[in-house]
Structure 1
Amino acid sequence: MHQPQSVTSGQSTRRTKQIQNSEISVSAIKLTPKEKEVLAWGAMGKTSWEIALILKCTESGVNFHFGNIRHKFGVSSRASALIKATALGLVTPY
């Protein structure tokens, strides 16, 4: 006799597929050297203003790079981008 599948096992299967799809798209993320540098300084807790001083560029330039990073990662905040970059091993938090 067929036993019904539990609700949680169906959810688990969907979650596994979401994670696999997420991993596939994450491996396709290509960051420029400047985006990697901005991420590294951000992971050390630097503000856009501080990063701009360090990189000898404008604060709006740093924010532009963070905007591109957020778009590539599919997140809406700098904190989320830093968390994702850390989880992927792209940066090491200070």
Structure 2
Amino acid sequence: MDHSFGEYLRMLRRSKGMNSKEVAERAGVVASYITMVETGKRGVPNPDMLRKLSAIFNCSYLGMMIKAGHISEEEVLGYREQEQRARQKGATQ
């Protein structure tokens, strides 16, 4: 199993000086859930949990979604380009 998201989560947690229990309480889960994600014994969190974690760590939700593999950077860039073209088209009409 790929541990990169778990390692990323552990790095975020440690950078904030928090332990697993503190993160878990704020996210509304048990501490063992956080530990299992960090050690790769559990898959990446779902998008709702990632939103909670991004708020706890004050980091980008979109970045967490990419890191977790729910979306790719290419998808984000493609969406942004589409939106930009739609705005430009709307401005010229």
TM-score, normalising length: structure 2: 0.32
